[in-house]
Homo-oligomer: A and B are copies of this chain.
Amino acid sequence: MKEGGLSENGGKAAFPILAFDFGGTRGRCCLGAPDGSYAQVVALERSRDDDGTFWLRRLIQAGREICIHTAGLKLVSVSFGGPVMPDGRVISMHVAGWEKVDLRRELSDAFGVPVCIENDGNSGAVGEHRYGAGRGAHFMIYMTVSTGIGGGVILGDHLYRGVHGMAGEFGHMVLHPGPNAPQFGFGKPGILEALASGSMIGQQGSIAREKMGSRVGKAQLFTEMEAKLGLLTGKDVFDAARRKEGWAIEVRDAAVRHLARGVAAAICAYDVELVVIGGGVAMAGDVLFVPLRKEVNNYLPAFLEGKVEVVQAALGDHGALLGAVASGSDYMQKHNLL
C-alpha cells in the first residue's frame, strides 16, 4: 500500500477505482489502483444534521472532484458504516435516512460504472489483512471501535461474510443485559457497542467528570452541559488516562474490561491467530492495548490464554478506505475489468 503519484497519461494516472468510506462521523474517498496504490484522499466531517441523502450528496461531490485526476474510471468500491443488504441497500445505526437510499443505484447513476459495497467491518478487515497489521496472518478478526463497534473476519486468507454479509458483528453481542443495560443508537440494550464504543467511552468520561465536578463543588454547570452534549470524546478520555488522571483511568479500565470480554468472546467463537483493532479508539495505542491484552487473557479459557495476538491496526483512519480499494481490485479481477 503506497500513495501513488499522478504522472502518466498526460498527467492522469491509471487509477480505475473510486473508493468511498461512509462512516458515521467522517467520510472519505480516494482513487485506487489494483496494486493497492492510492491517491487524492479527501476526508469530510459529517455534520450532525446531515441525513443519509445529504451525506451521500456531499460525498458524491467530493468523489466527482477527485475523478478529474484519473483517466478511465472502471469501478466504485464502497465501505459502508452499517449492514449492507444483498441488493445494495444499507442500514445505519447512527445516521438517519439511509434506509431510503438505494446506495448502489445512486452511485452507479452518478459515476456510470459498476458499484461494489461492503460494510466497514468487512472492508477494514480486508484492508488490514492486505496492507496492514494482518499481513501474513491466515485467520484473523478485525474489530473497529469508533462511533460504534463493527468487525470483519478473515478465514484462510479470505473475507468470511456470513449468510447475510453480517459476520463479525461483534458490536451487537449483548454483554451486559438486565434493567441497567446501557442503550446506544438502534441496538439492543447492553450490547458491546453500548459499553465500549468511542462515543460511549466519551459519554462515560463526561459523566465521570460531571460527578467529579459535583464532588469538588466547581464548574458543575459546565460539566453537566458537557455530559448532555457529549462534549468529551473517547480520545479525550484516553489522552487524560495517558496523563494519569484518575477519573479517566477508571473510565478507560471499565471500557477495556468490556472490550476485552468482546474480544475474548470473538476468539472463543473463531479461534483465530490474530485480532486487529482499528477505529478511532485504537489510535490511543499503548494506553489501550497494554491493559487490553492482559484483560483479554483474563476472559479467555486457559487453553487459549496467550495464544492469540491482539494488535493495533496499522492503517489508522484509512483501513476501511484501503479495504475498499482492495475489494475493488478483487472485484475487477473476478469480473475481468482489469
Residues on A facing B (Cβ under 8 Å): 83, 91, 139, 153, 155, 160-170, 172-175, 177, 186-188, 191, 257, 261, 264-266, 268-273, 298-304, 307
Set of chain B residues within 8 Å of A186, measured between Cβ atoms: 302
Q: Which residue of B lies closest to A186 (CB)?
A: B302
**CA A257 to CA B189, docked complex, whole Å:** 14
Which residue of B167, B174, B264 is within 8 Å of A174 (Cβ)?
A: B264
**CA A174 to CA B301, docked complex, whole Å:** 9
**CA A304 to CA B186, docked complex, whole Å:** 13
A-B CB proximity, top 7 nearest: A162-B271, A269-B269, A173-B265, A166-B271, A167-B271, A172-B301, A169-B268
Supplied contacts A166-B271, A188-B301, 9 more A-B pairs, CB within 8 Å: A83-B303, A162-B271, A164-B307, A166-B304, A170-B268, A172-B304, A173-B269, A177-B261, A269-B270
Set of chain B residues within 8 Å of A172, measured between Cβ atoms: 268, 300-301, 304
What would be 7 A-B contacts, judged by CB atoms less than 8 Å apart?
A: A164-B304, A169-B271, A172-B300, A173-B264, A177-B257, A177-B261, A269-B269
Known: A187-B301, A271-B169, A299-B174. A155 touches B164 (CB 8 A): no
How far is the CB of A268 from the nearest CB of chain B, in Å?
Answer: 5
**CA A91 to CA B304, docked complex, whole Å:** 12
Known: A91-B303, A177-B257, A265-B173. A270 touches B188 (CB 8 A): no
Which residue of B83, B175, B273, B299 is within 8 Å of A188 (Cβ)?
A: B299
How far is the CB of A210 from the nearest CB of chain B, in Å?
Answer: 24
Set of chain B residues within 8 Å of A273, measured between Cβ atoms: 163
Contact A300 B188 (CB under 8 A): yes
Q: Which residue of B lies closest to A273 (CB)?
A: B163
**CA A188 to CA B300, docked complex, whole Å:** 7
Set of chain B residues within 8 Å of A298, measured between Cβ atoms: 188
Contact B271 A165 (CB under 8 A): yes
Q: Which residue of B lies closest to A177 (CB)?
A: B261
**CA A160 to CA B269, docked complex, whole Å:** 11
How far is the CB of A335 from the nearest CB of chain B, in Å?
Answer: 21
Known: A299-B188, A301-B172, A303-B91. A163 touches B271 (CB 8 A): yes
